[in-house]
Structures are given as C-alpha cells and as structure tokens.
Amino acid sequence: MIMELQAPPSVSDATKEKLGKAFLESLKTRDWEKMRDILTPEVIWTLPGTSLLSGPAAGVDAVLKRAKQLRDFGVMVELRHILIGWTGVGLALHNTASRGSLVLDEWVVIVCEITGDKISRISTYLSDVDGINAFFIEGVI
C-alpha cells in the first residue's frame, strides 16, 4: 500500500525549536505557568517502565505533576542536541541524579509533537528503563 504524502506542517522549524527550548527551560527553572502556556489542554506525556513516573500523563495538570515530580527527585537535565522533525521537535538529553548509593545516569530523547503553536504530545525514550524503575519509587518525595 502506498501512502499519500502529506503537505508540510504549518509550524515552522523555528517555532518547533522555540517550543522545545521553552519546555526544557520551564522544566529546569520550575516555571510551571510557562510550561502550562505552551501545552494544549489535552496534552499527553508518555514515559516507559513501571516507575512512579511511568505510563501516560493525560492533560495539562497531569503533565505538570510529572514535571514537578521529576524535578523533586533531583534530576539534572543537560541538553545535548535539538532535533527538528516533520511535526515536532526532539530533545536529546543526558539526565543524572543520585540518592544515597543509587545513581541515575541515562540518555533520554523527549519528542514533542506540535499542534498549532503548542505541544500536544510528549514521548520519552530512555536508555535505561530499569534505572528509572529503581530510581523513581514511592515514598521518596
């Protein structure tokens, strides 16, 4: 079956990059209102694994809760690359954190799909799912 090619998205590459940077900056600075402003109301953020943060977070409030928990666990986020796609932006990150002898050190790609001028879907890809399952557990924060 041959699929029809779609017209290019109406969102410019500059807007994709701007939204990706705004998402990451609001996460780093805990600027939850800024993050709220760049998300669609029906946004969904998926994260693999079985950890406290894993699964889908549906809606702005659930996405903000996940972002707050990530920061409350002390995760440091280092941007390595911004990757522009057809309908969104990818953020290649190096995330680190530690708690006692437990160390989180992983490579992450966050893919943000853009609808209009806002982020409508966030998908997280991890290099170490077992590591997040051990790190993000109940009772720590």
Residue 6 within any structural domain of the chain: no
Q: How many domains is the chain built from?
A: 1
Instruction: Determine, yes or no, domain membership for 8.
Output: no
Considering the domain boundaries, does residue 140 fall inside one? no
Task: Give the CATH number for residue 95.
Answer: 3.10.450.50
Please state, in angstroms and rounded to a whole number, the distance separating the CA atoms of residues 22 and 6.
27
SS3 15: helix
Structure confidence at residue 10 (pLDDT): 80
In a domain, 113, yes or no: yes
pLDDT band at 13 (very low <50, low <70, confident <90, very high): very high
Owning domain of residue 34? 13-135
pTM of the complete model beyond 0.85:
yes
Confidence of residue 6 (pLDDT cuts 50, 70, 90): low
At 90-102, the pLDDT tens digits run: 999 999 999 999 9
Cross-strand pairs, 90 = 83, 111
